[in-house]
Chains A and B, each alone.
Chain A
Amino acid sequence: DAMVIQNPRYQVTQFGKPVTLSCSQTLNHNVMYWYQQKSSQAPKLLFHYYDKDFNNEADTPDNFQSRRPNTSFCFLDIRSPGLGDAAMYLCATSRVRGGTDTQYFGPGTRLTVL
């Protein structure tokens, strides 16, 4: 089945210790997104890639970086996680950017910062 896969599902890291979250997709979609979602809040868009074109949201902290080495994979790097970065990180894809195109979400990675 075509899908969006995120690994790991649960990640625990120490305060200040770099962590990388991964996302892969078998949908062959052009656009990939990274969202941060805290409890009972709306998902907050951090980045999106339209093919290899990287788009950084204006209020995404410098502590967050992303890489998309190929169509199928996308990584979220948190250079120095703080307690406030504990959240669910959602990867999503869409075939194209905008219009009627639905975003398909992976299962998410829940990050805990100790």
Chain B
Amino acid sequence: GQNIDQPTEMTATEGAIVQINCTYQTSGFNGLFWYQQHAGEAPTFLSYNVLDGLEEKGRFSSFLSRSKGYSYLLLKELQMKDSASYLCAVMDSNYQLIWGAGTKLIIKP
């Protein structure tokens, strides 16, 4: 079966750095997405990786290793507004998005 694993919850301090990991096992691979979802709101797109390596976008970076079935989202200079769930999703060989359950990130002052 297809599976996306990410930690259920993480806690970090304002101003610090946090890394949210995602491992996947899917039928084929056509890219990996990270979405941010604030409580009670819709997911919003953060990043897309299809080649190995690091993609940087401001305070957020996303890394992919296809051989290891592994990705991480790195958030720097954490702000209170970064408190949200972070969803990892992989597009499989049928171009369907397979979603993880999300990592709830709690930022403390």
Contact = CB atoms under 8 A, between A and B. Distances in A.
B101 A102 contact: no
Given A40-B102, A42-B102, A99-B30, A106 B95 contact: no
Contacts of B102: 40, 42
Nearest to B96: A45
Size band of the interface chain A makes with B? 20 to 34
B31 A100 contact: yes
Contacts of A42: 4, 87, 99-102
Contact of A105 (B4, B42, B104): B42
Interface in B36-61: 40-45, 48, 50
Given A45-B96, A98-B30, A108 B41 contact: yes
A40 B104 contact: yes
A88 B43 CA distance: 12
Nearest to A50: B95
Contacts, number: 49
B34 to A, nearest CB: 11
Contacts of A29: none
B50 A100 contact: yes
A114 B63 CA distance: 44
Contacts of B24: none
Which A-B residue pairs are the 8 nearest by beta carbons? Answer: A98-B95, A42-B99, A105-B42, A42-B101, A102-B45, A108-B42, A43-B99, A107-B42
